[in-house]
Structures are given as structure tokens and as C-alpha cells.
């Protein structure tokens, strides 16, 4: 039987759901203005031989993928 929907699906309903959403969006913010244009927009310090901006963004992307993996493992 179909169930009537009273609660919005835009807001998570579990603790793990909140963690996943906040982590993903928070990390996304690190790769968006203003952070990426101010704090991360630099060549130095070099990180493992690559410019800081490149390494910063790569780190954020990998962390975001990590959140997606974690969400799947939690069956969210």
C-alpha cells in the first residue's frame, strides 16, 4: 500500500544521513568561491611536487568520493 508522505525528503531523517549531507556539501564548499578563489588560489606551498591549488582540489574531490562510499556502506 502506498504511504502518504508527510516529511520532506530534502532533510535527512537519521544521524548518518545528516553526517553524509553536511560532509558532502561542506567539502563542496571548499571547492567553490570564495574559498577556492582566496585561500586555495596559490602555487605555493607545493604539495608532493604539484601546485597547491591543484593538490587542494584533488584532495577535496577524493574526500567527496569518500563520503559517497561511506554513504553507500551505511546503506543511506
Partner 1 sequence: MQAWVVATSLIFLYLALTVVLGLVANRMSSGDLEDFLLYGRKAGFVVLYLTVVATYHSSFAFLGSGGFFYTHGIGFWEAGTWTVLVGGITYVLGSRIWALGKAFGYVTPADLLADFYESEAVRVVAAIVSVLFTILYIQVQAQGLGYILSVASGDRIPFEVGTLILLVVAAFYLAVGGLRAVYWTDVVQGVWMYTAVWIGALVLTYKLFGGPLALWRRLAVERPDLLSLPGPEGFFTPGIWFGMTISLSFGIIIQPHMMIRYYTATSGTVIKWLGATTPIYLMTLYIPAAMVGLGGALAMPGLERPDRVFPLMLFQYTHPVLTGLILAGATAAAMSTLDSILHANMTVLTRDVYQRYVRPDADDRHYVWVGRAIIAVLLVVAYILSIRTHVFLVTLVTLSGSGALQLLPGVLGVCMPSPRIRTARGILAGIAAGLATLYVTLFGVAVGGLVITPNPLGVHHSVWALATNFLVVLVVSRFTAPPSTETIERIHGEIERFVYGSKNDEAPSPPNPIASAA
Q: CB–CB of 55/48 below 8 Å?
A: yes
DSSP state of 31: T
Q: CB–CB of 45/52 below 8 Å?
A: yes
Q: CB–CB of 60/30 below 8 Å?
A: yes
Q: Does 22 bind partner 1 (CB under 8 A)?
A: no
Residues 72, 42: Cα–Cα separation, whole Å: 34
Tell me which residues in 31-60 interact with partner 1 (CB under 8 A): 31-34, 36-37, 41-43, 46, 49-51, 53-54, 57-58
Nearer to partner 1, 5 or 15 (CB): 5
Query: Which residue ranges make up the site for partner 1 (CB under 8 A)?
Result: 1-6, 8-10, 13, 24, 28, 31-34, 36-37, 41-43, 46, 49-51, 53-54, 57-58, 61, 64-65, 68-69, 71-72, 75
Amino acid at each position: 500500500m502506498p504511504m502518504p508522505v508527510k516529511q520532506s525528503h530534502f532533510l535527512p531523517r537519521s544521524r548518518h544521513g545528516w553526517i553524509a549531507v553536511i560532509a558532502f556539501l561542506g567539502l563542496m564548499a571548499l571547492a567553490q568561491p570564495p574559498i577556492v578563489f582566496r585561500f586555495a588560489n596559490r602555487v605555493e606551498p607545493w604539495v608532493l611536487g604539484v601546485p597547491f591549488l591543484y593538490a587542494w582540489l584533488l584532495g577535496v574531490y577524493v574526500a567527496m568520493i569518500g563520503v559517497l562510499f561511506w554513504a553507500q556502506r551505511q546503506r543511506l
